[in-house]
Amino acid sequence: MFEGRLRNLKNITRFSHRHLIEPETVAEHTIDMQLIALEMYNILSPKGAMDIPMLKDILFKILVHDLDESVMCDIPRDIKYYSDEFHRIINKVGIDLMKESGISDDLISEMNSAKEGFLGSYCSSLGRLSVLP
């Protein structure tokens, strides 16, 4: 079920508040983020600022961070964050749809934690970098 949902991300066009030169799927966005994470590892690991366990955690967080989009598509950022209340409603709908489609509570929890804390902010920054040419 999880793998099928991730495969579905290749069919979902990503919408961003940024104008993209070329259309991009959510799967392409995810891979781009992971490639940037690997490049950052190559820069930071010699300085002792990142190790393999941290890289694995980052790569997994990137993989699951948009899992909700596999059941409700990508929502343009300006709409998604229109207000705190609207954002909470969208998150609840995404969680409900994921549960209905058989995605486990553990994976839903992993998706939510992928957007929190230091590593969540780091992954979010990688997402913003991925839209640059």
Taking the CB of residue 63, how many other CB atoms lie within 10 A of it?
Answer: 19
Q: What pLDDT is recorded for position 83?
A: 95
Domain-wise residue ranges, the chain: 2-129
Q: What pLDDT is recorded for position 17?
A: 56
Phi, psi of 27 (to 5 degrees): -65, -40
DSSP letter string over 55-92?
Answer: HHHHHHHHHHTTTTHHHH----HHHHTS-HHHHHHHHH
Q: How far is residue 91's CA from residue 85's CA, in Å, rounded to a whole number?
A: 10
Q: What pLDDT is recorded for position 96?
A: 96
Give the confidence band of 19 by pLDDT, cuts at 50, 70, 90: low
Query: What share of the chain in percent tops pLDDT 70?
Result: 92
Least confident window among 33-37, 69-73, 88-92: 69-73
Architecture, CATH, for domain 2-129: Orthogonal Bundle (1.10)
Q: What pLDDT is recorded for position 133?
A: 66
Amino acid (one-letter) located at 37: A
